[in-house]
Structure 1
């Protein structure tokens, strides 16, 4: 067994498996504890503001909120392991059913935003690096830095509101809210992707500047290889490892961005559901949504680590070297 764990892939997968289990356990603890930080009495909210103290206590017992903290945590933990996230306090619906109905709307704009981010940021970063290589076009480098910095400084909901004013109010070419048509996806997707595009483009531009100074790139230029082939065949593959390492965090954060932007565009996804559940002190639904979003972020980062290991086997030993 020990000899197997010293081999690159088994050792790597064992490490990542341990990280996955630890991250999930921490996520379960956080999602359970965080709802208890929401001010207000859930039993009072569910029973109604006009309910008598006896009715409130009866509701508290029915919801299981009268149990000790550790008992509630254990019941929640068992439910997560068996795929039972409980029922909504407000509607009585199964939490998994509510998430399943709303998740496709959140996932659609998040996945579209991720695809848009990867394509545009790689193209933009490489283009700026190529056009400014060798201290050329310094005005472009300066403008690129300023514009991306300004966009990164803006909260996602401010970007969303600006897009609504521009394209839905001023020019009336796109819908401002809802998800009834394909055009409804354009503004929310653009809103959640704008910041990550700038972040990844800056990263790609910086890494590309290093790659373009490598000997093999000088050789490619000396052989008069076309610019497109230089960048796509030689520069891009050498950018992916370093870029993906940090982009995992950026892309995972886009799920959270999708949650925030849904309130701006009245999008019928998990974002609106979690806001409504927090206001209504709907603990099971709040926990379930946060658990799903956190789980997706964990899976995205683990997947990128595995992809990096497949593309660059030297990274298999990275974690071992640190220990």
Structure 2
């Protein structure tokens, strides 16, 4: 009696499977984002070109602008042209000025990043040590007053909208004290108030989350074992507690970056900052839909990239996550 011998196939690396899944999710999400951005103009009631140029614009100008934008083609052809243009780095053309949208974005994006990236670094750089410090101070129900003060302050700051924080900062530090410029993009001093306005709320929210995660970690057996070995407190907190609390912190930190980018729309308008946030507000008011479309697409791609990077960082910090998903 002969039995069949099962031959095991080559073992696929969990990292490879995890990376392929994340990349596939990114590609699908990107396709959905591009499709929704394309449909923005198609779903606008009436003629978007006429709406942008005004009712008094000559019909010849309207028809010429429609032809330049490709809106006189069938829908399927417009969709393929839009995809093909994006692969070539072509985001379309402004309805009002005829300027390439990609040029406007490349001019304004650096100014937005000048606010969003330092604000994100400030959030992470403050929230993690603040949250960990108050977790250590208040673990086991100690220092109730410190816990109440920390919770009340962070809840209050997290609840205030960015534009109200920005207005308050301008009124006090710029108008009353004269320490910083009221508005505009003029030197390093003009960065301070917008960055604080963007970072204050997310720092408060994330520091609370870090404290809760750190309290959970400090109650685990491996932390008690480290203390029983009489390791220095610095090693217990930084080597054992902090890395295990960073998993949820990184996940939410990536989400915070997306909210920071969205917050630039309001903050840039308060400070007359020449970035994408103020540009998209002006474009909506002027009904320059291709420019709105291009900026929304850039914001969306940024969010997808941040989520992908966070997923990969979490896999590096916690390799077990790749195995659990497989």
The whole-number CA distance in structure 2 between the counterparts of 1:70 and 1:278 is 26
What does residue 217 of structure 1 align with? 223
Per-residue deviation at 1:318? 3.4
Does the 8 Å CA contact 1:126/1:208 hold for their aligned counterparts?
yes
Question: Is the counterpart of residue 280 in structure 1 residue 286 in structure 2?
Answer: yes
The residue that corresponds to 1:296 in the other structure is 302
Aligned-pair distance for 1:3? 5.6
CA distance in 2, matches of 1:39, 1:176: 39
- Distance in 1 (CA, whole Å) between partners of 2:157 and 2:269 is 20
Please say which of residues 202-211 and 272-281 is displaced more in the overlay.
272-281
1:101-140 to structure 2, matched below 5 A, reads 101-140=107-146
Cα shift at 1:14: 0.9
Matches of 2:309 and 2:46, distance apart in 1: 39
Aligned pairs for 1:162-177 within 5 A:
162-177=168-183
* Contact 2:111 2:274 (8 Å CA) reproduced: yes
Distance 1:231 1:65 in 2: 60
Note if 1:199 corresponds to 2:205: yes
2:237 maps to 231
Distance 2:279 2:46 in 1: 19
1:270 match:
276
**CA-to-partner distance for each residue in 1:39-80, whole Å, 9 max, x for gaps?**
674322554442244543444344333334333222212211
Q: Secondary structure at the match of 1:235?
A: helix
**Contact conserved, 1:42 with 1:280, CA < 8 A, in 2?**
no
Deviations 1:299-318 (A, max 9, x none): 11101111111122111123
Query: 1:154: which partner in 2?
Result: 160
Q: Which runs of 5+ in 2 are unaligned?
A: 1-7
CA contact (8 A) 1:38 1:281 kept: no
- For 2:196, the equivalent position in structure 1 comes to 190
- What does residue 25 of structure 1 align with? 31
The normalised TM-score by structure 2 is 0.90
* Whole-Å separation in 2 of the counterparts to 1:141 and 1:302: 35
Q: Which residue of 2 aligns with 1:76?
A: 82
Cα gap change, 1:35 to 1:197, in 2 (>3 Å): farther
**Structure 1 residue aligned with 2:4:** none
Structure 2 CA distance for partners of 1:216 and 1:95, relative to 1, 3 Å: same
What SS does the aligned partner of 1:134 have? helix
Give the C-alpha shift of residue 127 in structure 1. Answer: 0.9
1:246 aligns with 2:252: yes
Kindly provide the CA deviation profile for residues 192-219 of structure 1, in whole angstroms up to 9, marking residues without a partner as x: 1111111211110000001111223223
Q: 171-180 vs 239-248, which deviates more?
A: 239-248
- Larger-gyration structure (1/2): 2
Sort the Cα spacing of 1:248 and 1:55 in 2 relative to 1 into closer, same or farther, 3 A.
closer
1:133 alignment partner, SS class = helix
- Partner deviation per Cα, 1:82-102 (whole Å, 9 max, x = no partner): 221122222222222211111
| Alignment correspondent of 1:66 | 72
2:264 corresponds to 1:258: yes
Root mean square deviation of aligned Cα = 2.2
Normalised to the residue count of structure 1, the TM-score between the two structures is 0.91
What residue in structure 2 maps to residue 93 of structure 1?
Answer: 99
Name the SS of the counterpart of 2:323 in structure 1: helix
CA displacement, residues 249-304 of structure 1 (integer Å, 9 cap, x when unaligned)? 12222111123311111111111111122222222221111111111111111011
